[in-house]
């Protein structure tokens, strides 16, 4: 009986707690309490309520309370970490997260709500996939002063820059540090409209797969990431005078083994790669495929039906093409 209870508890945890929401800082007008489970699809509602927007879904989540509706958050800053269920952050407020939605959809939903509420204003809505390097900053004038990323200055003992997985992770930290530096310099304009900043860390997953989730290298990587996020947190809190909500969202829902940068395509030059098709190719392919299948089976059914017809009674073809027409007496 005890074994059954343990197994059932493990299944419940694995289904409902494959991620974590960690609130690093928030305005004094917002309070977080408890450790109630939360679905990732409800994150737009949490952030919207923190910004003072109306929510689109009902929820009985009891983790956040608005104490002062006249002093809400001015910005949402989120760092999403792919491939791990937790960063083992003891500070802040931690909530088990059920990752039932992709983090991209969460950002797009929040971005849409800000744009609908402030259609005529130039809101700062930034999403940076750190695995893409400097190319991910091209769309954002606020971050275009970042021309290069230096190696991270923090000391590390178990990670090696010569290992591909470790190098990609350190490069992502270097880019995140460069963004923090730009925020510290005041490169981000602050106005009365709410802003959203979204940063995705992808390389920790491959690093964890290589060294092991409980290895010293992975623990060191998590600590380095936490320190880097803390610098980002402090920079945004100073920029928005404590009126920014900064959070970390971890998820082990995806299981990609390798992380490739857009700049790494040079490694494949000279290789006979497959032709690149347009986004309409799957649609056209399915139309042609299923039309062909339907046409073949329709033709087969017609052929079988005609072959089984009684020429003397059923078929007008035989009666009208006969050399001697039948006449009624």
How far, CA to CA in Å, does 131 sit from each of 6, 66, 216, 248? 39, 35, 23, 17
**pLDDT for the residue numbered 252:** 84
Q: How far apart are CA 262 and CA 171, in angstroms?
A: 13
pLDDT of residue 11: 41
Of the candidates 148, 150, 153, 125, the one whose C-alpha atom is nearest the C-alpha of residue 135 is 148
Which pLDDT value is given to residue 125?
94
Cα–Cα nearest to 254, from 200, 199, 216: 200
Query: For 290, phi and psi rounded to 5 degrees?
Result: -75, -30
pLDDT in tens, the chain (329 residues): 444 443 444 344 444 448 999 999 999 999 999 889 999 999 999 999 999 988 888 778 889 998 888 888 999 999 999 988 889 888 889 999 998 888 999 999 999 999 999 887 778 999 999 999 999 898 898 898 888 776 555 578 899 988 999 999 999 999 999 999 999 999 999 988 899 999 999 999 999 999 998 899 999 999 999 999 999 999 999 999 999 999 999 988 764 434 444 444 444 455 555 666 677 788 898 999 999 999 999 999 999 888 877 666 655 665 565 555 555 54
Q: Which residues contact 314 (CB under 8 A, 6 or more apart)?
A: none
E strand or H helix at 23: strand 19-25
149-153, long-range: CB < 8 A, 24+ apart: 149/174, 149/175, 149/177, 149/178, 150/174, 150/178, 152/177, 152/224, 152/228, 153/177
Answer whether 252's CB lies under 8 Å from 85's CB: yes
Residue 12's pLDDT is what? 43
Residue 202 near residue 259, CB atoms below 8 Å? yes
Q: According to the model, what pLDDT value does residue 25 have? A: 94
Residue 315's pLDDT is: 58
Distance, CA of 67 to CA of 62 (rounded, Å): 14
């Amino acid at each position: 009986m005890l074994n059954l209870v343990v197994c059932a508890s493990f299944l419940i945890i694995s289904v409902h707690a494959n991620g974590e929401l960690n609130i690093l800082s928030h305005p004094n007008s917002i309070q977080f309490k408890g450790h109630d489970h939360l679905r990732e699809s409800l994150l737009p509602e949490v952030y919207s309520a923190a910004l003072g927007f109306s929510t689109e879904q009902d929820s009985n989540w009891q983790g956040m309370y608005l104490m002062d509706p006249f002093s809400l958050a001015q910005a949402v800053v989120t760092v999403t970490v792919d491939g791990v269920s937790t960063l083992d952050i003891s500070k802040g407020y931690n909530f088990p997260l059920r990752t039932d939605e992709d983090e991209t959809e969460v950002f797009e939903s929040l971005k849409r709500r800000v744009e609908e509420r402030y259609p005529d204003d130039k809101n700062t809505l930034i999403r940076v996939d750190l695995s893409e390097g400097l190319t991910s900053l091209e769309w954002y004038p606020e971050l275009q002063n970042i021309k290069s990323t230096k190696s991270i200055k923090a000391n590390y003992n178990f990670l090696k820059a010569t290992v591909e997985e470790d190098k990609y992770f350190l490069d992502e930290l270097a880019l995140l540090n460069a963004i923090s530096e730009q925020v510290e310099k005041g490169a981000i304009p602050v106005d009365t409209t709410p802003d959203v900043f979204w940063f995705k860390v992808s390389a920790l997953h491959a690093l964890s797969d290589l060294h092991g989730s409980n290895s010293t290298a992975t623990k060191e990587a998590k600590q380095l990431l936490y320190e880097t996020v803390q610098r980002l947190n402090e920079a945004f809190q100073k920029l928005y005078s404590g009126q920014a909500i900064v959070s970390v969202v971890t998820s082990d829902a995806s299981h990609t083994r390798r992380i490739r940068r857009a700049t790494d395509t040079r490694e494949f030059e000279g290789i006979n790669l497959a032709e690149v098709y347009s986004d309409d190719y799957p649609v056209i392919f399915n139309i042609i495929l299923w039309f062909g299948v339907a046409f073949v089976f329709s033709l087969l059914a017609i052929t079988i039906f005609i072959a089984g017809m009684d020429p003397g009674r059923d078929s007008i073809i035989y009666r009208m093409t006969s050399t001697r027409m039948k006449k009624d007496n």
